[in-house]
Chains A and B, each alone.
Chain A
Amino acid sequence: MTSTVPKQKVFEAAGKAMIYLALTVLALGTLFPFLWALGTSFKTEEKAIAIPPQWIPDPFRPQNYVEAWNMFPFARFYFNTLLISVLGTLGALLLSSLAGYALAKYEFRGQYAILLSIIATMMIPYWVSLVPVYILLAKLGWLNTYHGLIVPHLARPFGIFLMRQYMRSIPSDYIDAARIDGASEFGIFWRVVLPQCTPALATLAIFFFVADWNSFMWPLIVTTRLEMRTVTVGLSLLAGSPYRTAYALQMAAATIGALPAIVVFLAFQRYLTEGITLTGLKG
């Protein structure tokens, strides 16, 4: 039967099948560390270290999650992280769009210099200024406070740059019309410009939220009191605790820590990948 099909077509189909196979293997490899952690997290400690490894947890032990959750005040860590991430994201969105708007839709001297300076600060890695900022926060009495965790990162050059690029594509006619109608400058920004920026804002919101949720070194340094710690720092405490060899417990904690970012990403991933294309984040 196949003799009627040209050989070239067969090779092509085989090549395509190989590519699908390779991509599937890669996708499984990408997911494997998560699935393995998830599997371990439901095992008894005894089965977790069994050789050869057990594929499906049996007996099934969801209590690991309860124990991991209560080992450290994870409820508090979650609250802290959520508060910091939500306020940090909203604040950074507001500041980015305000500054981006000023740079995109007004004309004044030194505008380009300001834009370049903001982009230049994007190149400074955070740990160059880590010690001076830490000292500054210590002097202000901002260590172990929410504002100490949030305020220093409210202005994000990347966000300002992205909003500026995006807002330049909004026609100025709307703005001029609103101005003729007597709208205030802030009113124009808030009611005319901002609603047109939803795609860019959504992209940035995911970037900011995920970055804040996963931030580690900053909260590690700025907080010392247990009740001010975040999820990532809590995880590192657990990873360094005497329970470090309770592998099922560790994996339950790691899963608890990984889940929110994965859920947020899967729920909004359309905006993220579309946003990267749309906002011209491609060099």
Chain B
Amino acid sequence: MNRKQRKPSRKFWLQDYKLRAAFFFLLPAVAILIVFSLLPSLAAIGLSFTKWDMMSPARFAGLANYKRLLADARFKASFVNTLYYVIGSVPLGVLFSLIIALVLNEKWLKGKVLFRTLFFIPVVVSSVAVSMMWKWIYNPAYGFLNAALSVVGIPRQFWISDPHLAIPSLIVMTVWQTFGFNVVIFLAGLLAIPAELYEAAMVDGANKWQQIRHITLPLLAPTTTFVIIMAIIRSFQVFDQVQILGGVAGPPKSLVVTVYYLYQMAFGSFKMGYGTTIGVVLFLTILVVAVAQFRYYARRFEE
């Protein structure tokens, strides 16, 4: 990153007033990124090989944290919960948003801006406030959901504490909170598809579904890739909702996701080395998934 300082071009770097200006324009942002993002990320890798409770000095522990991670049933459970959540929420959320965006993109539809705006409201509200509201709706004794379901004879459900319902309840809540964002991104992508293509297809007698399949979806692929990767990264990071839904007693086992487990280990039990190890492993997982996803779509796009 600081190659420019070490390897000046033919002129002395800082002697050219234009380059000097560029250097000082870049400096604040780059310095903060290095100090508060890049170096700490590298330090995280180092820290994952240590044991540290912040009271006594850190001790080198070799691969102990990684070995422990592999044998840690609670970590595995949190990882399985996270995967369940990602696999459950990403396809559902993306597909749902895509359908809504396609509908909103119809030319004859009026009130497009109004719908788009309404759907976006949950996106801008903090997950903390949103989770409090949903926790109230999910309340087993007095919540609206059970009251509404009892009308059609469905018995009381424990939406958060029932191991079978915890993650599905979280999925419903977060799909509700995030689909408006995806819709706006999809609409932006749809706008970029030239109208002539549809006109030509209509001349050729292609019906609506054929137009979507052969024009819209292939041309929207870069947008879809972007939305999916963003959704995967976001879903792996879910934390606020779990913290609030869990409340004082903490989330039930079936709701403990990996970032929450990391938080518990690092800031609840002060196992800084172990907590960091969890973060590094989760990051590598996301990286592998995101890169694989990207390459899959890149290849399909070339065909």
Tell me which of A2-10, A58-66, A92-100 binds B. Answer: A92-100
**Contact yes or no, B115 A235, CB < 8 A:** no
Contact of A53 among B17, B43, B144, B287 (CB under 8 A): B144
B271-283: CB near A (< 8 Å → 1, else 0) gives 0100110011011
Contact of A247 among B134, B136, B226 (CB under 8 A): B136
C-alpha gap A101/B22 in the complex (Å): 8
Smallest Cβ-Cβ distance to A49: which chain B residue:
B142
Contact of B125 among A96, A101, A153, A258 (CB under 8 A): A258
Chain B residues whose C-beta falls within 8 Å of the C-beta of A127 in the assembled complex:
237, 239, 259, 262-263, 279, 282
Contact of A109 among B7, B137, B226, B233 (CB under 8 A): B7
- Smallest beta-carbon distance A248→chain B, Å: 10
Chain B residues whose C-beta falls within 8 Å of the C-beta of A185 in the assembled complex:
17-18, 21
Contact of B176 among A33, A210, A269 (CB under 8 A): A33
Check B128 for interface membership: any CB of A closer than 8 A: yes
Within 8 A of A (CB), among B88-118: 100, 103-104, 106, 108-109, 111, 113, 115-118
**Contact yes or no, B121 A265, CB < 8 A:** yes
**Contact yes or no, A30 B119, CB < 8 A:** yes
C-alpha gap A232/B129 in the complex (Å): 7
Smallest Cβ-Cβ distance to A29: which chain B residue:
B176
Chain B residues whose C-beta falls within 8 Å of the C-beta of A118 in the assembled complex:
29-30, 33
Smallest Cβ-Cβ distance to A117: which chain B residue:
B1
**Contact yes or no, A244 B247, CB < 8 A:** yes
Which has the most chain A C-beta neighbours within 10 Å: B33, B223, B244?
A: B33
C-alpha gap A110/B18 in the complex (Å): 15
C-alpha gap A189/B25 in the complex (Å): 10
Tell me which of B64-72, B74-82, B180-188, B194-202 binds A. Answer: B180-188
Which has the most chain A C-beta neighbours within 10 Å: B25, B31, B239?
A: B25
Given the interface pairs A36-B137, A98-B28, the reply to whether A257 lies near B129 with Cβ below 8 Å is yes
Check B41 for interface membership: any CB of A closer than 8 A: yes
Check A90 for interface membership: any CB of B closer than 8 A: no
A133-144: CB near B (< 8 Å → 1, else 0) gives 111101000000
Which has the most chain B C-beta neighbours within 10 Å: A135, A253, A255, A282?
A: A282
Contact of B132 among A26, A128, A133, A254 (CB under 8 A): A254
Interface residues on B, range: 35 or more
Contact of B25 among A37, A102, A130, A254 (CB under 8 A): A102
Chain A residues whose C-beta falls within 8 Å of the C-beta of B188 in the assembled complex:
276-277, 281-282
Check B248 for interface membership: any CB of A closer than 8 A: yes
**Contact yes or no, A214 B176, CB < 8 A:** no
Told that A99-B30, A186-B21 touch, could you supply 20 new A-B pairs with CB distance under 8 A? A16-B108, A19-B109, A23-B100, A27-B115, A30-B180, A36-B137, A51-B142, A95-B32, A98-B26, A110-B3, A121-B33, A121-B41, A127-B262, A129-B44, A217-B240, A265-B120, A273-B187, A276-B184, A277-B191, A281-B185
10 contacts between A and B (CB under 8 A): A26-B100, A27-B118, A114-B26, A118-B30, A123-B287, A136-B40, A216-B127, A239-B128, A247-B139, A283-B222
Which 7 residue pairs across A and B have the least CB separation, nearest first? A283-B226, A185-B21, A214-B126, A129-B40, A132-B40, A106-B22, A155-B32
Seen from chain B, the residues whose Cβ lies within 8 Å of a Cβ on chain A are 1, 3-4, 7, 9, 13, 17-19, 21-23, 25-26, 28-33, 35-41, 43-44, 47, 54, 100, 103-104, 106, 108-109, 111, 113, 115-122, 124-130, 132-137, 139, 141-142, 144, 147, 176, 180, 184-185, 187-189, 191-192, 222-227, 233, 236-237, 239-240, 243-244, 247-248, 259, 262-263, 266-267, 272, 275-276, 279-280, 282-283, 286-287, 290
Seen from chain A, the residues whose Cβ lies within 8 Å of a Cβ on chain B are 16, 19, 22-23, 26-27, 29-31, 33-34, 36-37, 40, 48-49, 51-53, 95-96, 98-99, 101-103, 106, 108-110, 113-114, 117-118, 121, 123-125, 127-136, 138, 151-155, 157, 160, 185-186, 189, 210, 213-214, 216-217, 221, 231-232, 235-236, 239-240, 244, 247, 250-251, 253-255, 257-258, 261-262, 264-266, 269, 272-273, 276-277, 281-283
